[in-house]
Structure 1
């Protein structure tokens, strides 16, 4: 008996101008979807990054006080490679982010501040494809992002944000989840893939602590392999996949 053929992925919507990407750590977007972001900024769209932490607990051989500033610098450099100039950090603690009202409030504030039409986050489910356990930080931030989009548009939730001059924003039309095992849409990565490789390579200190492989070989293999695999469901071109939730 043959396995059923997965359905083809649909093109992502393109009738938007501003996006906000909200993830837990430096490097999350570079592993997840930066080739798509490079394509979007090439088209003149605005993309802003918001990170819940500075990744200060991510390198075993570096104390958090040293690691956090290093990873922040790497993140800003990697964002610049794909045309993103605005990068914000919410300063939740790396490794112990808690899903809850404070996190929702911080993300809702970012949504109100930047007023995006598209919000991007990372896999919020317990596993990666049912075979690898996800980290609690990814789960907390992904889930909180999905919830905070609704919070941002409701004037009676977090009224203190309105008092701070952040008016409700109900203009988010989609939330796109990168790294999902059940994607629905994709973006052609052909034009952005080389910049995605360079962008992830900016996280050199993290990558060198993560693997003994030569960094560029490791990065290129990971990103091009994922893009080719996704492309099998997107007309045969390298692609970045998203699970798209409409609002």
Structure 2
């Protein structure tokens, strides 16, 4: 008996474009650059506003650097990275890198940011236990991704976190979609043709981290990594390189 052939993967639908403001919520510096910076470049080119919210400063991410040195360095790299793709609003929540906890405090912090920025689209990173069922995800990614999905509803409910209203942050129930990058179950995609080069340069701004991560030339590493993923999705997106998302409507 021979193995049955794999079922063909379904085409990816273009991500909706009828929105103006997005808030991207992730755990660490470089998460967005590995996940979807090429899409962000495409959005900002179209005149859309994108803001970044990071739960940590990535201070535990480089073994050879003390967190007190590493955190500020990675913050600088993240701000430079965001600027490459047209993002100027970059906020940090100062949860501790490596030990971010899913719970009320994290949900409240993200809900507060959603109320401040009032996005129609929230972007986050893979919140599941694994990457593709083969590589174990980190607790920070899982916690922040789950909390971002939940905080969207929290942000729109006046009776959840009433202290936010007392601080002047009125409920915002205008989020229409949550787009999860890095998922193994994508449903939608953004054409990466125009944004891919800036996505590569955006990831390359995290040079200190990348030089520890790989012995390969940093630019070659960034280009091959991002181009490979984008081009692997082309057969499902009309032959165009793409950034994929799992889209949850509201």
Tell me the TM-score range normalised by the shorter chain: over 0.9
Deviations 1:174-198 (A, max 9, x none): 0000000000000000000000000
Unaligned stretches of 5+ in structure 1?
A: none
User: Is 2:31 aligned against 1:28?
Assistant: yes
Distance 2:161 2:212 in 1: 40
Instruction: Summarize deviations over 1:126-167 as a string: whole Å, max 9, x none.
Output: 000000000000000000000000000000000000000000
Task: Give per-residue Cα distances to partners, 1:85-121, cap 9 Å, x unaligned.
Answer: 0000000000000000000000000000000000000
What is the distance in 1 between the residues matched to 2:195 and 2:34? 13
Instruction: Give the 5 Å matches for 1:184-199.
Output: 184-199=187-202
Measure, in 2, the Cα distance between the counterparts of 1:34 and 1:170: 26
| Aligned-pair Cα RMSD in Å | 0.4
Q: 1:68 aligns with which of 71, 78, 82?
A: 71
Task: Show the counterpart of 1:220.
Answer: 223
**SS of equivalent to 2:236:** coil
2:48 pairs with 1:39: no
1:170 aligns with 2:173: yes
Residue 231 of structure 1, CA deviation: 1.5
Q: Which residue in 2 is equivalent to 1:91? A: 94
In structure 1, distance between residues paired with 2:151 and 2:104: 9
Counterpart mapping for 1:1-247 below 5 A: 1-247=4-250
Partners of 2:234 and 2:90 lie apart in 1 by 29
Query: TM-score of the superposition, structure 2-length normalised?
Result: 0.98
Distance 1:187 1:231 in 2: 11
- What's the CA shift for 1:61? 0.3
Q: 2-side partners of 1:232 and 1:165: how far apart?
A: 48
Task: Structure 2: state its 5+ residue gaps.
Answer: none
After TM superposition, where is structure 1 displaced by more than 2 Å over at least 4 residues in a row?
A: none
Q: 1:29, 1:15 → 2: CA distance?
A: 22
Give how far 1:230 is off: 1.4
Instruction: Name the CA distance, whole Å, in 2 between partners of 1:178 and 1:239.
Output: 12
Q: Calculate the TM-score normalised by the size of structure 1.
A: 1.00
Q: Distance in 2 between matches of 1:47 and 1:230?
A: 24
Deviation at 1:232, TM superposition (A): 1.7
